[in-house]
Amino acid sequence: MEKAKLSAYQLFVLVLLFELGSAILVPLAIDVKQDAWLAILLGMAGGCFLFLIYLCLYYYYPNIPPAIYMQKIMGKAIGRALALLYILYFTYLASRVLRDFGEMLVTFAYPDTPMFIVNALLMMAIVYTISKGIEVLARAGELLFVLIYLLAITGFILIVVSGLIDINNLKPMLEEGISPVIKVVFTQTLYVPFGEAIAFTTILPYLNNPKKARVTAISSLWLSGINLALAMAINISVLGVDLASRSQFPLLSTIQSIQVADFLERLDVFFMLALIIGGFCKIGVYLYAAVSGAASLFNVKKPSKLVYPIGLVVLIVSLAIASNFAEHLKEGLQVVTILMHFPFQVIIPLLLLFIAFLKNRKKTG
């Protein structure tokens, strides 16, 4: 474990940027059409519940990284195997986000540039940041947080001013009843983006004030959930359900629709900035989770030495995981959710918490 201290505010900012990361750019929960915002809010509620599980584990072992407390809870062999699996999981997710990022940039901004170059450039920046430690990422986050909110507020005002919002597009509410919404919550929004906050278990031990962890993280999840729901509601009310669901990146189409006073238009750069800031923070956190996990599992004294090899792995995996964008999305929605998100975000933490609870009760009793 490196010597670093994070303030509660820095955790708040990192969680928020991480959650908004790639989720604000993609058609989240569009399967339930105009009720997407509701599915996101419900997913957020579930995500908060999941995060409480991670927090309970953290409060049992406040100063120990997860890779170590897994061994304490489950025993050496199983604990190590689990920690290794988590490292692979975080590495894979980092490369998935990197792939999302590269696909978006190549699709709409750099059609002639190979994705390798785009991904490699971003990865270089991230690897450099992470090699300097988590504090650097957190401080960068503080700056980027202000920037992304300025962008979001400007964008929001411009959308309202140009009269694009048609609330009728969000009606009728719950057309097919509540069950499809619940289904989407439990198959999509609960895990992506809210359950993904499990990566923060590796960052929580650095908090300078552990008591504030719960309030900070949960309020950050709330704010991000509200932001995401609002963004999706705006996308649908501007584009209509049909266009929003046909868009690879609905937020981009929404921003492209802005036309104010004949000169404030074509603000694609807003999307670009949100994309790069979000991608940077999300990949950064995942990469850090993988690196610090590996460092504590294999007893590496200087975690920063691991950043370069794991970063390279992330880069190469991001290119190798799918041969086209459709395949990548399909994997993300179907395979990854069932085989990875559900066990890693729900089952294993619950199991760990249960055993930790029994062990600690024995100790005190």
Which residue ranges make up the site for another protein (CB under 8 A)? 107-113, 117, 121, 168, 171-172, 175, 239-240, 242-243, 253, 256-257, 259, 265-266
Measured from the CB of residue 265, what is the shortest distance to another protein in angstroms? Answer: 7
When the beta carbons of 76 and 171 are compared against another protein, the nearer one is 171
Burial of 293 (0-12, 13-18, 19+ CB in 10 A): buried
Helix-helix angle 250-257:213-246, to 10 degrees = 70
User: Closer to another protein at the Cβ: 86 or 271?
Assistant: 271
Q: Smallest gap, in angstroms, from Cβ of residue 348 to another protein?
A: 41
The Cα–Cα gap between 142 and 14 comes to 8
| CB nearer another protein, residue 98 or residue 285 | 98
Closest approach of another protein to the CB of residue 274, in Å: 17
Q: Which is nearer to another protein, 113 or 334 (CB)?
A: 113
CB atoms within 10 A of CB 84: 16
Q: Find where tokens 């370069």 sit.
A: 308
Q: Are 95 and 126 in contact (CB under 8 A)?
A: no
Could you give the CA distance from residue 248 to residue 259 in angstroms, rounded to a whole number? 21
Q: At what angle do helices 66-74 and 268-297 cross, to 10 degrees?
A: 50
Tell me the chain's radius of gyration from C-alpha atoms: 20
How many whole angstroms separate alpha carbon 104 and alpha carbon 22? 10
> Looking at the chain, how many residues does it have?
365
Q: Cβ(217)–Cβ(225) under 8 Å? A: no
Nearer to another protein, 221 or 307 (CB): 307
CB of 155 to another protein, least distance (A): 16
CB of 23 to another protein, least distance (A): 21
- Shortest separation between residue 326's beta carbon and another protein, angstroms: 14
Nearer to another protein among residue 242 and residue 327 (C-beta): 242
